[in-house]
Amino acid sequence: MHRERFFTLSASCPDRVGIVARVSGFIAELKGWILETSLHAELPREGEEVGRYFMRIEIRADSIPFHLSELRERFRPLAEELEMEWKITDSAVKKRVVMLVSKQEHCLYDLLARWKSKELDIEIPCVVSNHDTLRGFVEWHGIPFHHVPVGAENKAAAYAEVERIFEEVRGDTMVLARYMQILSPELCAAYPGRIINIHHSFLPSFVGARPYHQAYTKGVKLIGATCHYVTADLDQGPIIEQDVIRIDHSDAVEDMVRYGKDIEKTVLARGLRYHLEDRVLVHGNKTIVFR
């Protein structure tokens, strides 16, 4: 794993001949040093004439003879010609991650441990919760804590406050670390591809509440967890990462919950890392994940 500063170009566009040649040629003309390249061609969907092409390219920052802003401006004409959806990010700029939690602490504990050890090299400007339960733990880490109660009578106001806080702290990504509330459609629409949830089930099975109880009733032999982007449709957003563990007839619901917590932590951490490293490109309700 290289540690020097790099720029990451992530992009998708209608598939055609010569995309890689054009983009790599652009970088070569600047004497840019490519560190890593990931490419994927998606076949046309029903009713479409062409498929879609996806790419992620890491470029050593000190090989580019000018600032990132100029690199973006120079790349823009080519991106427009290729009809690209694209962005170029800087590894030296830490992403600002706002975490939303309720009362269950295991995912928050895990992410804060990874942040403290710099395994997740991010900034956490604040934690928001609909309960005051975890305030002491969060503030012990030196992180501001916002208690925003959510009830049937104040949901619109509560989510307006969550959005205000997110904007005020200049958040890049919002993580629902077992935040046991359904976000408003307005909040989901405000940040497409920027809100990440961990659902304690291997979606699309057992959406909604009490999935372990649903799984127990069905007698399944595998339980899992799913990290996905949040949309207005409950637990239906594009999936980033999943994992499972085998269980058997002797496991009670309480056992399944205990096993599941371990999976939830690792799946959320992996999914968040892929997102922060610009390894996830969304295509409709699917994702392309360059691991």
Q: DSSP 3-state assignment of 10? A: strand
The average pLDDT across 126-153 equals 96
The average pLDDT across 221-228 equals 92
* The predicted structure's pLDDT at residue 2: 53
The average pLDDT across 109-125 equals 97
- The 10 Å Cβ neighbour count of residue 17 is 7
Question: Can you list the domains of the chain with their CATH numbers?
Answer: 6-90 (3.30.70.260), 97-289 (3.40.50.170)
* 3-state class percentages of the chain: helix first, strand second, coil last, to nearest 5: 35, 25, 40
CB 143 within 8 A of CB 124: yes
Q: How many residues does the chain have?
A: 291
* The predicted structure's pLDDT at residue 186: 94
Point out the least confidently predicted range of 96-105, 252-261, 266-275. 252-261
- The 10 Å Cβ neighbour count of residue 96 is 16
Which residue shows structure tokens 């949901």?
A: 155
Nearest-angstrom CA–CA distance, 85 and 122: 25
> Whole-model pTM?
0.94
* The predicted structure's pLDDT at residue 166: 98
Q: Which of 15, 62, 233, 235 is catalytic?
A: 235
Q: Report the candidate in 129, 127, 165, 162 with the shortest Cα–Cα distance to residue 147.
A: 129
Q: How much is the mean pLDDT over the chain?
A: 94
Nearest-angstrom CA–CA distance, 123 and 97: 6
Q: Is 235 a catalytic residue?
A: yes
Per-residue pLDDT reduced to its tens digit, 179-202: 989 999 999 999 999 999 999 888
